[in-house]
Amino acid sequence: MKYSDTENQSLLDREMFAKILLAVFIGVSVSSLIQGSTLKCYTCNSEDDPGCFENPERQRIHDCGLVIADLSSTRFRCMTIKGIDGNDKFAMRRCSTNDECKLHLRSDNSYEWGTKIYPDATCEECASDLCNKN
């Protein structure tokens, strides 16, 4: 079957549109897979959630790629900070970046977080899904 020049151009336009649409679909799919595959961590703070210290499995789970923007996922870590706040034990679990414990844990084992300083603290980082359970 022979097509006119106009029909040939129309077929080429449809083919090009289908290829562009497929490329966009693949790009969105790959982006969704990458975004959904970053490190997952327990996130809680015993100041407002008493279960955070002993029972993190019942706490929120966050995808670090959604919490920490503009960094390579190879730098993501799960963090657990435990210590004493006055007469009470405290725990904080969250997404962080590698070496963040070194930045906040002082040589006297106090942990500096914003305007607070927690004495006798421990800070641990790990790099596998939900590894900040203990």
pLDDT digits (tens, 9 = 90+) for 86-133: 888 889 999 999 999 999 889 998 888 888 888 889 999 999 999 998
The CB-side HSE value for 93 (13 A sphere, CA atoms) comes to 27
pLDDT of residue 113: 81
Q: Determine the structural domain holding residue 86 and report its residue range.
A: 40-126
pLDDT digits (tens, 9 = 90+) for 61-94: 999 998 777 677 888 999 999 988 788 888 999 9
Number of domains in the chain: 2
Taking CA atoms, 122 is separated from 3, 15, 108, in Å, by: 76, 61, 11
For residues 51 and 79, membership in a common domain is answered with yes
**Do the domain assignments include residue 98?**
yes
For residues 52 and 99, membership in a common domain is answered with yes
For residues 82 and 48, membership in a common domain is answered with yes
List 33's β-bridge partners, or say none: none
For residues 4 and 51, membership in a common domain is answered with no
The rounded Cα 34 to chain-centroid distance in angstroms is 12
